[in-house]
Amino acid sequence: MISPTAVYAILLLAAPLAMIFLYSFWTDGYLTIIHQFQLCNYYGPCASYKEVDGNLQVTQEYLGAWSDPLTRTLMLRSLYVSLTVTAVTVVLAFPVAYFVSFYVDASKKSLWLFLITIPFWTSYLIRVFLWKVIIGYNGVINTGLLELGLISEPLSINYSINAVIITLAHAYAPFAILPIFVALEKIDRSFLEAGRDLGESPFMTFFRVTLPLAMPGVISSVLIVFIPTIGDYVTPLLVGGPEGKMVANMIELSFKKLDNYPRGAAIAISSMAMVVGVSMLFLFLNRRFLKGNKG
C-alpha cells in the first residue's frame, strides 16, 4: 500500500538530495565535474592540476562554503532574516489566532479562516510585486506619509533587507496563524476556568495555562516559517537588491551562471545543516519549556 508513496519519495526527494551531497565532495572542472572525492569544498582553497597545451598547470579551486567571506556573509544574513521573519510573523499571528479561537462565534470561525487564507488565492510572485509597489520610493507608504506630513522625503524601503523581511512576513503569515489556531482550539476550556477559580488573574492564566498548551502550535509555526524563508530566493531577487541577497541566490548563481555544481552543492548542504541545527534547538527548547511547566 505504501510502495507508490515510498518510490515517489525516493525518486523525487532522497535521490536528488543524495546527488547534491555527492556533488558537494567532487571537484569542479572546465565544463565538467571531476569525480574525485575531496573536502576543499568545505574547508578552504585547493589546488588541482589540469593539462593545458600539453603542460600541467596549477589551477586554484573555489573557496569553501564557510571560508569564503561572501558566502559566509550571505549565510549569516539569511539566518538573521529568517529568524527575524519568524519572530515577527509568530508574534503577530498569535493574537489573530487567539482572537479567532476565543472571541469569534463558532459559526463564524470558518469565515475568518476563509479570509485569512485569501492571500493563497493569488500567485506568490504577484504578492511580491504588489509589495514592490507598496514600499517603493513612490509607493503607497511613502505617498501616504508625505501626504500626512510625517516625512519630508520618501523613505528608502525597497531594495533592502528590510523589504525582504516585510514581504516574507506577509507571505508566510497564514502559515503561522493556522497551526496556532489549531493548538488553541484543542485547549480544554475547563482548564482556564479552573485557573480562574483558583484565583489566577486572566494575565497569569494565559501565561501559565494557555501559552504552555499552545506551544506545540507555536513551535510548528516557527518551523513552518523558518525553514522555507531561509531558502527563499525569489523575494530577495525582486525586492532585496544587493543588500538583500540571501544564500539561496548564491546557490542559484553557482549552479546556473557559474556552472559550478560542487560549490553550489557545498553551500546547499551547509545551509541545510544550519537549518537542521536551528530546528533541533527549537525542538529542544520546546521540550525543556513543557517539562519545566509540568514540573
Residues 144 and 193 in one domain: yes
Q: Which of 40, 60, 80 is the last residue of a domain?
A: 60
- Taking only the tens place, the pLDDT of each residue in 222-258 is 989 998 898 888 899 888 887 888 988 888 888 887 7
| Residue 180: per-residue pLDDT | 94
User: DSSP letter string over the chain?
Assistant: --HHHHHHHIIIIIHHHHHHHHHTTSEEETTEEE----SHHHHS--EEEEEETTEEEEEEPPPPTTTSHHHHHHHHHHHHHHHHHHHHHHHHHHHHHHHHHHHS-GGGHHHHHHHHTGGGGS-HHHHHHHHHHHSSTTSHHHHHHHHHTS-SS----SSSHHHHHHHHHHHTHHHHHHHHHHHHHTS-HHHHHHHHHTT--HHHHIIIIIHHHHHHHHHHHHHHHHHHHHT--HHIIIII-GGG--HHHHHHHHHTTS--HHHHHHHHHHHHHHHHHHHHHHHHHHHHHHHHHH-
How far apart are alpha carbons 220 and 199 in whole angstroms? Answer: 32
Q: Between 220 and 59, where is the model more confident?
A: 220
| Residue 257: per-residue pLDDT | 78
Share of the chain above pLDDT 70, in %: 84
| Residue 86: per-residue pLDDT | 93
Q: Which of 42, 60, 78 is the last residue of a domain?
A: 60
Residues 48 and 159 in one domain: no
pLDDT at 285 over 50: yes
pLDDT at 193 over 90: no
Most confident by average pLDDT, 24-28, 54-58, 266-270 = 266-270
Q: Which of 12, 28, 60 is the last residue of a domain?
A: 60
| Residue 31: per-residue pLDDT | 66
pTM of the model: 0.81
Read off the CATH number of the domain in which 139 is found: 1.10.3720.10
Residues 278 and 187 in one domain: yes
Work out how many domains the chain is built from and give that number: 2
Residues 8 and 147 in one domain: no
Residues 80 and 225 in one domain: yes
How far apart are alpha carbons 3 and 95 in whole angstroms? Answer: 42
Residues 256 and 181 in one domain: yes
pLDDT, averaged across the chain:
80
Contacts of 69 (CB under 8 A, 6+ apart): none
Which domain, by its residues, includes 264? 69-294
| Residue 65: per-residue pLDDT | 62
Residues 15 and 122 in one domain: no
Residues 218 and 247 in one domain: yes
Of 95-104, 138-147, 283-292, which range is least confident?
Answer: 283-292
Residues 220 and 253 in one domain: yes
User: DSSP letter string over 31-69?
Assistant: TEEE----SHHHHS--EEEEEETTEEEEEEPPPPTTTSH
Q: Between 176 and 284, where is the model more confident?
A: 176
Residues 38 and 128 in one domain: no
Residues 29 and 107 in one domain: no
- Taking only the tens place, the pLDDT of each residue in 52-108 is 444 444 333 344 566 677 888 888 899 999 999 999 999 999 999 999 999 888 888
Q: Average pLDDT of 267-280? A: 86
Q: Between 28 and 280, where is the model more confident?
A: 280
Residues 33 and 130 in one domain: no
pLDDT at 153 over 50: yes
pLDDT at 167 over 50: yes
